[in-house]
Amino acid sequence: MNMPDPELTWLCLNAFLAATLLPFPSEILLGVLVTRHAYPFAMLLFCATLGNVAGALFNWILGRSLLHYQNRHWFPFSPAALDRARARFSRHGSWWLLLAWLPIIGDPLTFAAGVLRIPLPLFLLLVTLGKGGRYLVLMLSMDTW
């Protein structure tokens, strides 16, 4: 049985952590792997996107499962913030999830999508398109240097 490649495993884990509510950079390792040309471009894109979408899914699950704690002091969103998120999602639809790759707002956006019970298939489609597109652009720009 073949063991998974440790660099690709670290890339996937880095991308996962970068998509959670914790601040964590995934671009450094990705940049090193892209510029070394040690792996096929598509494999790096797949691993980074897979890890990042899995982290966003983790946020979605947290949001969905922690909603019944919304009246606790430690809940990350105030009732007013939840109302604003509901208003944005109802005004612009789930298209906001295409921006889940953005720093600062992207991770809370995926958490809010869980709280607001955005359907999982739609969530995964939009988040994958946004995050995969971001990694594609990043990797293409890294590869041209």
The residue type of 19 is: A
Predicted local distance difference test score (pLDDT) of residue 50: 98
Structure tokens at 49: 């996107």
Burial class (CB in 10 A: 0-12, 13-18, 19+), 34: buried
Predicted local distance difference test score (pLDDT) of residue 1: 59
In the chain, domain spans: 6-143
Q: What is the pLDDT tens value at each position of the chain, 145 positions in all?
A: 576 789 999 999 999 999 987 778 888 999 999 999 989 999 999 999 999 999 999 999 999 998 778 788 877 777 887 788 778 788 878 888 999 999 888 888 898 899 889 999 999 999 999 999 999 999 999 977 5
Contacts 24+ apart (CB under 8 A), 136-141: 136/45, 138/27, 138/30, 139/30, 139/34, 139/41, 139/44, 139/45, 139/48
Query: Could you tell me if 25 and 18 are in contact, meaning their C-beta atoms sit under 8 angstroms apart?
Result: yes
